């Protein structure tokens, strides 16, 4: 979202602000940005390295809790990211390519996490999965009981998906199993589900009567992070897909491509940059998420602290160099994100404009 080169800055513009105005305003602007943004950035690195490079490295890599926080962040974020990328692509396809009743409602729902304060987001998950929550007692008593169902369902969905996408269609379909998709899917689902379920019970894959902790544990962190960041990819892809138009996808279909082929050969290459842009934004947000994760994590140092939480904990312990050390990593990430973002916007100018069309109603209520 960088500004275009000022149209006729100075040269052609016949109406110019007098020089003193220009100088004052520019100075004021630079002062503002400097004090609000520039000085803080420099300060982060200064404070982190204040006590020497050795202490810096020690703080980051030799403090087991900090190390663990870094590892945890690097575990939670990719999972949330992957889930949201899949959702983003799928939702963008449904919304950008088709018209159906409820479409605007769906689009508005996707923007929802943006208008929810992160603390409230975390609270909602605690309400469901926490010990005092709706599912709390069940999860504590015999939490793993739900896993066979989930896994069997997952298996059914995956196999159905494979079947639906890869079966040969009309002319080549000779065997019965290809000709009656509904029948095969219904019967097959039940069969697959039963088989998977029985197998899991037989081999006692899941512990019985054991507590499945979601809140105050990694799954909760993933959920909270996924909630707060899932709009990013979708919001970026929907305008991109709408701008590109369905013609090429239609052309592929008319030439004989299956849905899968069309998707990989035509759709994905066309949305490539929009996707990357969305992922970059999503990633930056996910790594920096504080409020929602704070609520669901329980702050057990070494176990459920992500990097932002670790910063806070170190701050509470008056370990400022440590705190800033972790902060410096995240600041570095922010700077890299900005660079990547600017580069992409230069390469594909439309990206900045597209996300401007639905301005960051989004970014409201960040962590």
Partner 1 sequence: MASVNRRVLPGFSLTLGYTVFYLSILVLLPIVACFLKAGSLSFHEFWHAVWTERARAAYLLTFGAAFAAAVANVILGLLLAWVLVRYSFPGRKVVDSLVDLPLALPTAVGGLVYASLYVEKGWLGRFLVPLGIKAAYSRLGIVLVLIFVGLPFVVRTVQPVLEDLDPEFEDAGASLGGTRWQTFRNIIFPTVRPALVTGFALALARGIGEYGSVVFISGNMPYKTEIAPILIVARLEEFAYGEATAIAVVLLVVSFSMLLLINVLERWTVRHDR
Partner 2 sequence: MSIVVKEVSKTFGRFVALDKVSLEVPEGTLVALLGPSGSGKTTLLRIIAGLELPDSGTVLHQDVDITHQSARDRKVGFVFQHYALFRHMTVAENIGYGLRVRKAPKAKIRARVGELLRLIRLEGLEDRYPGQLSGGQRQRVALARALAAEPSVLLLDEPFGALDAKVRQELRQWLRKLHQEINVTSVFVTHDQEEAFEVADHVVVMNHGKIEQIGTPAEVFEHPANAFVMDFLGNVNVFPGRLESGKAVVSGLEVDYPSYTHAEAQDTVAYVRPHELVLQNQRESDASIQARVLHVNPTGSRIKVELRVLDSDQVINAELTTERFTELALRTGDVVYVSPSRVRIFTADYSI
By CB under 8 A, the residues from 257 to 316 that bind partner 2 are 257-258, 261, 265-266, 269-270
Selection from partner 2, partner 1, none that 363 binds (CB < 5 to 8 A by kind) is partner 1
Least distance from C-beta 341 to partner 1, angstroms? 7
Tokens coding 124: 């909602």
Q: Which of 229, 234, 273, 277 is nearest to 114 (CA)?
A: 229
Identify which of residues 51 and 248 has a Cβ nearer to partner 2 in the complex. Answer: 248
* 291 counts as binding partner 1 under rule CB under 8 A: yes
* 253 counts as binding partner 2 under rule CB under 8 A: yes
Selection from partner 2, partner 1, none that 248 binds (CB < 5 to 8 A by kind) is partner 2
Distant-in-sequence contacts of 41-49, Cβ < 8 A, 24+ apart? 41/331, 41/335, 44/324, 44/327, 44/328, 44/331, 45/328, 45/331, 47/320, 47/321, 47/324, 48/321, 48/324, 48/325, 48/327, 48/328, 49/328
Identify which of residues 94 and 246 has a Cβ nearer to partner 2 in the complex. Answer: 246
* 164 counts as binding partner 2 under rule CB under 8 A: no
**CB of 292 within 8 A of CB of 215?**
no
Least distance from C-beta 261 to partner 2, angstroms? 5
Binder of partner 1 out of 20, 54, 100, 172 (CB under 8 A): 100
* 102 counts as binding partner 2 under rule CB under 8 A: no
Least distance from C-beta 97 to partner 2, angstroms? 13
* 52 counts as binding partner 1 under rule CB under 8 A: no
Least distance from C-beta 244 to partner 2, angstroms? 9
**Touching partner 2, residues 167-186 (CB under 8 A):** 169-171
* 256 counts as binding partner 2 under rule CB under 8 A: yes
Specify the residue for token string 């962040």.
Answer: 73
* 119 counts as binding partner 2 under rule CB under 8 A: no
Number of residues binding to partner 2, judged by CB under 8 A: 19
Selection from partner 2, partner 1, none that 256 binds (CB < 5 to 8 A by kind) is partner 2
Selection from partner 1, partner 2, none that 251 binds (CB < 5 to 8 A by kind) is partner 2
* 250 counts as binding partner 2 under rule CB under 8 A: yes
Least distance from C-beta 332 to partner 1, angstroms? 10
* 56 counts as binding partner 1 under rule CB under 8 A: no
* 341 counts as binding partner 1 under rule CB under 8 A: yes
**CB of 281 within 8 A of CB of 296?**
no
* 117 counts as binding partner 2 under rule CB under 8 A: no
Identify which of residues 41 and 255 has a Cβ nearer to partner 2 in the complex. Answer: 255
**What is the binding site for partner 2 (CB under 8 A)?**
169-171, 247-248, 250-258, 261, 265-266, 269-270
């Amino acid at each position: 979202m960088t500004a275009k080169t000022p149209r006729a800055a100075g040269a052609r513009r016949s109406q110019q602000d007098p020089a003193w105005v220009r100088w004052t305003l520019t100075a004021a602007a630079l002062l503002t940005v400097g004090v609000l943004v520039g000085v803080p950035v420099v300060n982060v690195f200064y404070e982190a390295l204040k006590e020497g490079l050795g202490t810096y490295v020690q703080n980051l890599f030799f403090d087991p809790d900090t190390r663990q926080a870094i590892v945890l962040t690097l575990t939670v974020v990719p999972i949330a990211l992957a889930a949201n990328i899949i959702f983003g692509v799928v939702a963008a396809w449904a919304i950008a390519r088709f018209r159906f009743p409820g479409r605007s409602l769906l689009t508005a729902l996707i923007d929802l996490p943006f208008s929810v304060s992160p603390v409230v987001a975390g609270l909602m998950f605690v309400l469901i999965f926490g010990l005092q929550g709706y599912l709390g007692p069940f999860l504590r008593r015999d939490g793993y009981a739900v896993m066979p169902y989930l896994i069997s369902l997952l298996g059914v969905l995956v196999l159905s998906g494979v079947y639906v996408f890869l079966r040969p269609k009309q002319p080549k379909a000779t065997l019965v199993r290809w000709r009656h998709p509904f029948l095969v899917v219904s019967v097959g689902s039940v069969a697959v589900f039963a088989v998977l379920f029985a197998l899991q019970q037989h081999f006692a894959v899941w512990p019985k009567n054991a507590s499945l902790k979601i809140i105050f544990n990694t799954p909760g962190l993933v959920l909270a992070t996924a909630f707060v960041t899932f709009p990013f990819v979708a919001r970026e892809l929907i305008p991109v897909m709408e701008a590109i138009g369905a013609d090429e996808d239609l052309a592929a279909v008319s030439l004989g491509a299956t849905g899968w082929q069309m998707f990989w050969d035509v759709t994905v290459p066309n949305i490539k940059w929009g996707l990357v842009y969305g992922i970059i934004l999503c990633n930056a947000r996910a790594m920096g998420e504080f409020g929602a994760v704070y609520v669901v994590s329980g702050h057990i140092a070494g176990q459920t602290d992500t990097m932002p939480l670790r910063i806070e904990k170190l701050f509470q312990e008056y370990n400022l160099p440590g705190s800033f050390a972790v902060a410096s990593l995240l600041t570095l990430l922010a700077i890299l994100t900005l660079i990547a973002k600017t580069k992409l916007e230069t390469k594909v100018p439309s990206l900045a404009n597209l996300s401007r069309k639905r301005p960051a109603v989004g970014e409201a209520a960040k962590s």
